Every structure is written in C-alpha cells, then in structure tokens.
Amino acid sequence: MMHRTSFHCFRLGVFALALLASAAHAGKIDIQIGFGDNVVAMLDSESTLFADAYRTAMTDKGLKFNRAGNSVLTRATQGSTVARVEYIYTQNGLEYSKYYYARSGPAMEVTFDRIAHRAPASDGSPGTGESTAYEITDDDIAKDIAEGKFYPRDTSRRTRAPNLKKVDNGVVANDAKHAGDAELKIFRKIESDIATKAVPRGGKLVGYVSKAVCSSCENAAKLLAEAYDIDGSLYQLLERGSEPPIDAMAIESQKSSSALKLRRQEYIKTHLTNRFVPLDRTARVVPDPIERLEAEEAREMTAVPCGE
C-alpha cells in the first residue's frame, strides 16, 4: 500500500501535470437547469438510499429517538442535498460509465452525536444536521468512510462518494463551509478514481443535483474539468423562492424541486420518524405476506386502529 505522504505527493504531481496538459485542451462542465419527472425519480432514488442508510445504522446501533431527536434526524435527511453523476469514458474502444452518488453533510454518526448531546452548530444556532454551516473534521471523514457498510456495496460501476481526506491542492472547495456539499464529494471522488486509475481522465460528466450549485462547487467543477479534461453538464434543480423564475425552464425546475421535496418528506415520514421502521440489510428481505393485503381489500367494516 502506498504511504500516505507519498500518495499526497503523487496526487499533487498528477494534479500539476494535469493542469499543464489541460493548457492544450481544457474541459468544461456547464452548470445548467434540470427539470422533469426523471430527474425527480433519480434524485428521489438516491435520497431513499440515504434514508435507508440511517434506518440500517439506527437498527445496527439500537438507537431510538424522542420527538426532538427525530426532528433533527428529519432535517438531516430531508434537508440534505442529493446528487447523482454519471462519468462516461472510453477504454480500449468501448464506452463505459460509472455512477457516483452523494448527499451533503457529515457522517451519520455526527448527526447521532448531535442528537445525543443536542450540540449547537458552529454558527451558534441549534444543530440542524444540515451541511451548509458545518466544517468537517478529519474524525468525521473517517466516520463517513467507515459507514460504507450501511450503503449498498460499491461496485466498479456505481459508488457512493463520501467525504474524503482534506487536501490543499486539487479539486477543493474555496469555501470551507461547502466542503461537505454533495456535488463536491462526487468531484473529489472522481479525482481520486482518476488518480488510482479506476477511471481514465478525459471523460464526459452528466449529473443532477437537488439544489442550486453554490459558487464554491462551481469553482470546483471548473477545476475538475480543466485539470482532467472533462466535459459535461451538471443539472441543478431550482428551489421555489431561491430566485424569481425567469423562464419556463426555471418554473419547471422549481416544480420538480417541490415534487422531489414532497416525495422525500413522504418517505422519511413513513420510514424514519413517527412510526420508526427498522431496516436490517443483513436479513433476507421478502415481500410482505399477501393475506393481509387481501383481507384489507375485502374489508367492509371500519378497521380497528393500528399501532395504538
């Protein structure tokens, strides 16, 4: 295994060489507006993965929260930004693609600690579990990577982008408060994959983000594109009220953003909070028994309340 310092020197060298090489042809990643059902479908799917990771982790740790704790948990899951990016490249004459998915914010363990200690966020406000005002520590990064066991196993074609070790050079946020943003995590994971030759440079990137891309991440996209000759587009959903819609596309994007919020809220409400449903990924999941469904369909009388 490569020594850590050597690895950082290697990364720095690769990044410098990449920048030199990019002088000939610099890639460009456009930040554009995304909209429509499929964007909602893809991002909702990623959101579900992250909510399920919380369910699995809570089951694993035997955690149950009171109303206040659930409120923090809901904000941490519902309020986070989610992103999915496809990186398409050609190797030996064949086209391949790899998917990266991420959510904003720190490791789940950090949220659990906040609930346990009700710690305020760094700006002095009550802890929200959201990433925007949170500076990620090395300890949090290690926790995030260790939490890989709560997500579907990474494959060569699909991987979660966790928080990665801080570096001074390369694709970095120019605002530390955005170091945990979903799209930045993905950019950094792509950079890391290029360094380890898991994917080659010079590919095409097509991605979707559930919220508007911040200027720090726009800058990181520029760095990634120029350093590794990557072209492509990152499509963002515009939140209602974030800015006045200037055209039909922006209006559609805001509608999609609202639809996604509603779906995420619904899933989290029914799977994570009020009536907590544990999820054990190690157990074989089977579809629910059919008899209860059919009994409900045949029911003529008022049903007895459930779960009281």
Partner 1 sequence: MKPLLRLACLAALLPLPVLAAEPTTVDVYRELVRHRTATLGVDKAFARGTRSYVSSFLENPDSQYSALRDDPPITNEVWWYDFVDSLPIDAANKSQAALEMLQWQGGFTKARIGVDVVVDDASFVAFRNGYVAANAIKAGVDADIFWKARDLNGAMSTLAAGQAVALQLLRDQVRSHAPETHEARGIKAEVLARYLKETNPERLTESDLTYLADLLRFALSDNAFTIDAKGRRQLPAAYRVARVAAAYADSAGYFSPGGYCLGNDPRPGSPQGSDAAEYNIPLCFVAATDRAVQSWFRRKMRQEEASVHRAHHRPDESDRLVHFWFNAVLTLIDVAGFIEFAEAGLVSELSTEGVVTEEEAAVVDERATQLSCRIRP
Binding residues (CB under 8 A) for partner 1: these are 32-42, 44-45, 48, 86, 97-99, 152-153, 155, 157-158, 206, 208, 233, 235, 249, 258, 262-263, 266, 270, 274-275, 284-288, 290, 292-294, 296-300, 303, 305-307
Minimal distance, residue 46 CB to partner 1, in Å: 9
Print burial letters for 100-134: b (CB count within 10 Å at least 16), e (below 16).
Answer: bbbbbbbbbbbbbbbbeeeeebeeeeebbbbbbeb
For residue 244, the SS3 value is: coil
Q: Copy the structure tokens of residue 4.
A: 């850590």
Q: Which is nearer to partner 1, 124 or 287 (CB)?
A: 287
Sign of CA dihedral 296, 302, 304, 308: positive
Local structure of residue 36 (DSSP, 8 states): S
Minimal distance, residue 40 CB to partner 1, in Å: 7
Minimal distance, residue 115 CB to partner 1, in Å: 24
CA distance 220 to 205: 14
Sheet holding 231-236, edge to edge: 29-33, 231-236, 204-209, 82-91, 94-103, 158-160
Minimal distance, residue 288 CB to partner 1, in Å: 5
Q: Which is nearer to partner 1, 9 or 262 (CB)?
A: 262
Minimal distance, residue 181 CB to partner 1, in Å: 20
Q: Which is nearer to partner 1, 132 or 273 (CB)?
A: 273
Minimal distance, residue 125 CB to partner 1, in Å: 25
Count, in order, helices (H) and strands (E) of the chain.
9, 6
Nearest to 89 by CA among 223, 199, 232: 199
